[in-house]
A and B are shown apart, each in its own frame.
Chain A
Amino acid sequence: NAGVTQTPKFQVLKTGQSMTLQCAQDMNHNSMYWYRQDPGMGLRLIYYSASEGTTDKGEVPNGYNVSRLNKREFSLRLESAAPSQTSVYFCASSEGGLQGANVLTFGAGSRLTVL
């Protein structure tokens, strides 16, 4: 039972390069999330997708785009990476549904360094 799988685990980019972080869940969850984790800042919500076909901005969406490819997959794209985007990125999912967000299941994280 894989749960939430993120790739890659580590990535080093140069300023201005682009890349996509992939996330997939096998729990038939409706909602998916991308967070970044920075020292002293905790977890900050970048984008979320309440259900397949919808995406919404979180607290820190600038510099990122997302795609909810299908119910299983939710990708995060950096079009032109900046050093300020150096962080650990976490994907999460939840059942969602009419009652709201519910409990989150997290991936292992992706450590991104932008030089």
Chain B
Amino acid sequence: AQRVTQPEKLLSVFKGAPVELKCNYSYSGSPELFWYVQYSRQRLQLLLRHISRESIKGFTADLNKGETSFHLKKPFAQEEDSAMYYCALSGPLTYKYIFGTGTRLKVLA
């Protein structure tokens, strides 16, 4: 069955500290993995996707098929990174799009 697990509901870090938001998935096949972000009073929006292999706002995520993980990382957190982060999965040639339960990131001054 398709499943996305985000084990941390809340992650608090100090400004300038490294950040890692964990995401593990279950999928039989080769999924597409995404990170979405919801800033306060804004719409959910794409942060990055694994096939792009790019860094957005200093965030990166590497797909580890052996560990079935897609953790989101940033070396130096900023206060403006405070938001709700969702990991999501979709299979190629399918349209069922599943999200994890989300992790709220709070970056403290």
Contact of A100 among B36, B44, B46, B91 (CB under 8 A): B91
CB pair A103 B86 closer than 8 Å: no
Of the candidate stretches B55-63, B75-83, B96-104, the one touching chain A is B96-104
Whether a CB of chain B sits under 8 angstroms from the CB of A56 is yes
A51: nearest residue on chain B (CB-CB)?
A: B95
Q: Which residues of A contact B99 (CB under 8 A)?
A: 35, 42-45
Closest to B6 in A: A42
| B101 & A40 in contact (Cβ 8 Å cutoff) | yes
Within 8 A of A (CB), among B31-61: 32, 34, 36, 43-46, 49
Categorize the interface residue count of chain A: 20 to 34
B86, B90, B96, B98 pick with most chain A CB within 10 angstroms = B96
Q: Which residue of B is nearest A103, CB measured?
A: B46
Report the separation of the CA atoms of residues A61 and B7 in the bound assembly, to the nearest whole angstrom. 25
Residue of A nearest to B94 (CB): A100
Given contacts A40-B9, A98-B93, A99-B93, contact A104 B46 (CB under 8 A): yes
Residue numbers of B with Cβ under 8 A of A are 6, 9, 32, 34, 36, 43-46, 49, 86, 88, 90-102
15 contacts between A and B (CB under 8 A): A33-B97, A35-B99, A58-B96, A59-B98, A90-B44, A92-B97, A94-B95, A94-B97, A98-B93, A100-B92, A100-B93, A101-B32, A101-B95, A102-B90, A109-B43
